[in-house]
Amino acid sequence: MGDKITELGTTRSGFPPNIAAVLAYALTVLTDAAMFVVERENKYVRFHAMQSILFGATWMILWILASIETTLPIRIIGFIITDVILFVVVLGGFVTWLFLLYKAYRGARFKLPVLGNIAERIM
């Protein structure tokens, strides 16, 4: 793992690149934007920071939409299905977030479908 991490370059933040990428995911709303602004040179950290911004925004929107559906007086889809959708959004997002933290720590440039491509174009 050490050789792979040293190949990721240096960072302005002073953290090793894999730790800076993990920090970008750690508190999505706060740390991802900070790492994206601070790390102007390190493409590995910038990619993970931008992917974290996009993932966090998408997860939050899905969570809000699923929560609204479960609070409607007359549920459009049905009681059990709406609760399952909310559970899948929350748990799925949490598991994905943990997986992204793990991949960033290991020095991997794992791309989420769609969001990873957008992150690459933006950075």
| Digit-coded pLDDT (tens) for 8-24 | 777 888 889 999 999 99
Which of helix, strand or coil describes residue 76? Answer: coil
Domain count, the chain: 1
Q: How far is CA 89 from the centre of its chain?
A: 14
114: left (phi over 0), alpha (psi -120 to 50) or beta: left
Neighbours of 114 (CB within 10 A): 10
d(CA 59, CA 56): 5
Tell me the CA distances in angstroms from 42 to 60, 65, 117, one per residue in order: 27, 35, 18
**Domain of 90, in residue numbers:** 2-122
Query: Is residue 100 very low, low, confident or very high in pLDDT (cuts 50, 70, 90)?
Result: very high
| Model confidence band, residue 81 (pLDDT cutoffs 50, 70, 90) | confident
Q: Does this model's pTM top 0.85?
A: no
